[in-house]
Structures are given as structure tokens and as C-alpha cells.
Amino acid sequence: MEKVRVNLKKTEDRSYEILIGEDILKKIPLDLKNKKTVHSYVIISDSNVASLYGQKLLKGLTNSGLNSHLISFPAGEVHKDRDTKARIEDEMSKLKIGRDSCVIALGGGVVGDVAGFVAATYNRGIPYIQVPTTLVACVDSSIGGKAAVDTPYGKNLIGAFYQPWRVYIDVNTLRTLHEKEIREGLAEVIKYGVIKDKNLFEYLEKNIDHIFSFNTDALIHIIKRGCEIKGQVVELDEKESNLRKILNFGHTIGHAIENISDYKISHGEAISMGMVTEGKIALELGFWKLDGYERLVSLFNKTGLPTKPPHSLDLSRMINAMKLDKKARQRRIEMVLPRKIGAMVEVDGSYGIKIEEGLIRSILESS
């Protein structure tokens, strides 16, 4: 037998910068002009964000002499699908967008996920820039390189790991968001406090009102910490072999709640309920003290996020959904649990802890 070896072990620097501030949107054209030789830019956005900020960004790029286009699709999670991706790709092909082009994802997490996935596969991959415009996108979906679309069989089932080339966060764009969208993002920021940063948690306890009144310093502070925490975790464990699992705090139960409510309960609300319920499990197992749990509940109350799953949700369906979750191993339910505000429990070097179904059931029954 003859043997030919294809040697692919190479180290590639995929590091990128996240720029956060006021009026960043206006500064993007000049920054890009000085940074990279790109033949054309394709802004991908949804119908809401395209009219709020897309046209302005397009004008700014064009006025700076950068060859640019804007492609938008209808807003909403229902459009985060393969059809939307294909339509965008066809439009890009019609525009003769080549390999020397760059995608700009301008919008919330839906836009970031679709545009990132388009960039990952168009011409076998072209660079992309994230310009997140929701708090969720600023602190979560724009960092970490997960891009995907939903299918009738589940959320985020088809996708890729694909890191952006840059991230620009203009906190002024958040001012047009509804309070509900701010709460959605805060659920993830509170999670970062619990899993990694007690100072961030304390900051939130003291400054929730400033965030809801769009105080620039407060927004920049929490977004910067959020990006740093998610960035550090992803740097150490990009493909989620262990440490990255801590980002799933509240998500084992949260995803099950979202799923069996047919997504009527939003992600932020579901993970808040999930974090409190998983926090109760950690309390029951003696991992953390009542004080930490009570502070968590009280911060969610202050933020206006729910802490208990509605009684109308069927417990057996909820547990079944947890067993079918991507994170479950051999249908054993796994969770990450807090040790105190700012640190998670590690058992035998692993953050993922197998939890008995009976315990989850009894905690949920008593909620």
C-alpha cells in the first residue's frame, strides 16, 4: 500500500479586535479605508435595522470611495433560515461579489448568525465584520464565531464556526431598542457576572437603572466586560470541550423552557428562569450558599426578568427536552452550576455536571 500524507497542521492567527464606543458607525468607513484592501463591502441587515442604520452606513462607505452594497431580509427569527441564506447568496452572486469582498453584518443576533454563515460559505469563505445593534448581539452573538441558521428540526442546526475580522459596537444604536430587548441582553450579562465576575455582578446590582436610561458609560462598561469575559472563555476553549460550557449556565433548563413553550417565552426570560432553577439545584447540592442564590433572584427582579417557569409548562416534556438537548451526553442531563457569584463548580476537572432527573423534577415541582 502506498501512503501520501496531506499535511495540514498549521497555526493561523484569527485574533480580532472589538471596538466599543459612541458614534462608531460614522467612523467605520475611515477605519476600513485605512485597514484592508477589499474590493467591495456587502452590508447584510434586516428590514428594521437597514432603514434605521443600514442606509446611513452604506452612504458613509460609498462617500469614502468604498464600493458597497446593502442587502436586507425581513426581520425576525423565522427568517433565520436556509431560504434567507440562499437568497442573500444569490443576490451577492448577481452583484458579482468575489473572493476579495467582505460582509458587514449590521443588526441583532439573527443578522449576525445569518450573515456570518453566508460569509463562512460564500466562495468557500470571505471575511466578515460584525456591527451588532442589540445588547444580545453586543455581548453574546457577535463574539465567539458561532454562525448558524434554524431548520424545521431545531434552532441553529446548520452552521459553522467562523470568526469575524473585526467587531464595531456603537452604543448609540442601542437607543432605538425597546426595553424588552435590553432585558434580553441583560440576562446574558447577569450570567457573565455569576460565572466569572463578581465585580460585574455588583455593578449591575447598583446600576440597573442607569442601563435602562441608556447611560453611555454604564452601557460601555457592561458591554466591554461582557465582550472580555466571552472573549477570554472562547480563546481558551473555542470548540466547547470544557471551559466554554460555563457559558451555558441557565441554558440547560432555559432551552427546554423555550422549546416546549414553542418559543413564546423569549430566550432571555427562559434563561433567567433557568439560572434561578439551576441555582436552586446548586443550593440543594450544597455547591453555593443561600446568599448567592438570593442576590441572583433579587437582581432578576430588579431587571424585570422572570424567575419561575409558568406552571402551565409540562414537567415531563421539559425534562425530555433537556435529554434531547445538544449538550446532553447519552441522554444524561448536564449542567454548569455556580460555586459563588463569580465562579463555577468544577468536578474532576470538568465544568459539566451530570444531574439526576429526579432532582431536577423535584426542584421544578417546588418552584
Ligand X SMILES: NC(=O)c1ccc[n+]([C@@H]2O[C@H](COP(=O)([O-])OP(=O)(O)OC[C@H]3O[C@@H](n4cnc5c(N)ncnc54)[C@H](O)[C@@H]3O)[C@@H](O)[C@H]2O)c1
Confirm whether 346 is a catalytic residue. no
User: Which residues have C-beta within 8 Å of that of residue 235, sequence separation ≥ 6?
Assistant: none
> Which range binds ligand X by CB under 6 A, 1-9, 24-32, 48-56, 295-303?
48-56
Indicate which single residue of 22, 31, 77, 81 sits in contact with ligand X (rule: CB under 6 A). Answer: 77
311 DSSP β-pair partners: none
Q: How far apart are CA 354 and CA 252, in angstroms?
A: 11
Confirm whether 280 is a catalytic residue. no
Q: Does 260 bind ligand X (CB under 6 A)?
A: no
Long-range contacts of 236-243 (CB under 8 A, 24+ apart): 238/144, 238/145, 238/161, 239/161, 242/349, 242/350, 242/351, 242/352, 243/351
Dihedral sign, Cα of residue 126, residue 131, residue 133, residue 134? positive
Catalytic option among 184, 188, 278, 334: 188
Confirm whether 14 is a catalytic residue. no
Q: Does 80 bind ligand X (CB under 6 A)?
A: yes
Indicate which single residue of 18, 25, 44, 49 sits in contact with ligand X (rule: CB under 6 A). Answer: 49
Select the residue whose beta carbon is closest to ligand X and give its number: 109
Q: Closest by alpha carbon to 271, among 150, 136, 165?
A: 136
Cell of 163: 470568526
Catalytic option among 10, 94, 124, 175: 124
Burial of 138 (0-12, 13-18, 19+ CB in 10 A): buried
Catalytic option among 183, 248, 259, 295: 248
Whole-number minimum distance, CB 13 to ligand X, in Å?
21
x-or-dash string of contact with ligand X, 164-203, rule CB under 6 A: ---------xx-xx---x--x-------------------
Confirm whether 248 is a catalytic residue. yes
Q: Does 45 bind ligand X (CB under 6 A)?
A: no
Q: How far apart are CA 342 and CA 290, in angstroms?
A: 15
DSSP state letter for 139: I
Confirm whether 124 is a catalytic residue. yes
Catalytic option among 240, 258, 269, 278: 240
Indicate which single residue of 18, 25, 38, 48 sits in contact with ligand X (rule: CB under 6 A). Answer: 48
Say which residue the cell 444604536 belongs to: 173
> Phi and psi for 17 in degrees, rounded to 5?
-105, 145
The footprint of ligand X (CB under 6 A) covers 46, 48-49, 52, 75, 77, 80, 107-111, 113, 133-134, 136-137, 140-141, 144, 146, 156, 173-174, 176-177, 181, 184
Catalytic positions, please?
A: 124, 146, 188, 230, 240, 244, 248, 251, 255, 267
